Amino acid sequence: MHKLLIIIILACFLSSCGLNTTRNILPIPEADVSLLPRSKGLATTKNGISVIVVPLQSVKELDGFGVMIINETSNWISIKREDCVMIQGGDARYPLNNKQVSNRMGSSYKSSMPDELKVDIFEWRRNINTLNTRDLKIVDENLKISIMAGTKETIFLYFKTIDSTSPIQLILSNIFNEATKQRTRFSFKFTVEKK
């Protein structure tokens, strides 16, 4: 009887600490950032580059985001995952590498964007749905992901979850135009609710 009571108390304690609590990440649209209502994503365009960020609500083990980058310039652009950061409650967290994500999510886990995103994109900028995506991203020794002119690529960023409902700011600090050497920074804000 005492063992059962201890197990119940321990389960209640773990639940109250947030270890078994799921989080709902919701977008905060701003003046230059559009809300994508079905997928709960955000989208914006700067310097011929469009970025769509969607929180992956189906992922419970980590804070996950799908990031679609659309290159509407006439040049190659590139991004490094390490140039992305999530700020929450004054703490900066950097994306986990593929091995860390696989260890946490399982080797059979496959990242995907929500199905609703296609409709959101159609209503925001329908031509984006028709752009090509290359199956093979060019990644050099510096782990740089290159995106050709007139194409789009999707990357997935996963961060360790902390027990906090502080707002989240996701920053892509350096999308680099390989020809002009211009660096473009994108920032997206989200609120966090516990379910």
Do residues 73 and 48 make contact, with C-beta atoms less than 8 angstroms apart?
Answer: yes
Instruction: Give per-residue burial for 55-82: e unless 16+ CB within 10 Å, then b.
Output: bbbebeebbbbbbbbbbbbeebbbbbbe
State both tokens at 174: 């350096």
For residue 4, tell me if it sits in a domain: no
Residue-wise pLDDT tens digits, 89-130: 999 999 999 899 999 999 899 999 999 999 999 999 999 988
Q: Which amino acid makes up residue 9?
A: I
Domains in the chain, number: 1
Residue-wise pLDDT tens digits, 42-67: 999 999 999 999 999 999 899 999 99
For residue 157, tell me if it sits in a domain: yes
For residue 7, tell me if it sits in a domain: no
For residue 161, tell me if it sits in a domain: yes
CA gap 114, 122 in Å, rounded: 14
Domain containing 78: what range?
Answer: 23-194
Q: Are strands 41-46 and 138-139 parallel, antiparallel or unpaired?
A: unpaired
- pLDDT band at residue 9, thresholds of 50, 70 and 90? very low
pLDDT at residue 18 greater than cutoff 60: no
For residue 122, tell me if it sits in a domain: yes
pLDDT at residue 8 greater than cutoff 70: no
| Whole-structure pTM value | 0.86
Residue-wise pLDDT tens digits, 135-163: 555 555 557 888 999 999 999 999 999 98
Do residues 101 and 81 make contact, with C-beta atoms less than 8 angstroms apart?
Answer: no
For residue 164, tell me if it sits in a domain: yes
For residue 126, tell me if it sits in a domain: yes
For position 143, which CATH number holds?
2.60.40
Q: Which residues contact 60 (CB under 8 A, 6 or more apart)?
A: 22
CA distances from 139 to 10, 24, 68, 178, 195 (A): 46, 32, 17, 14, 38
For residue 101, tell me if it sits in a domain: yes
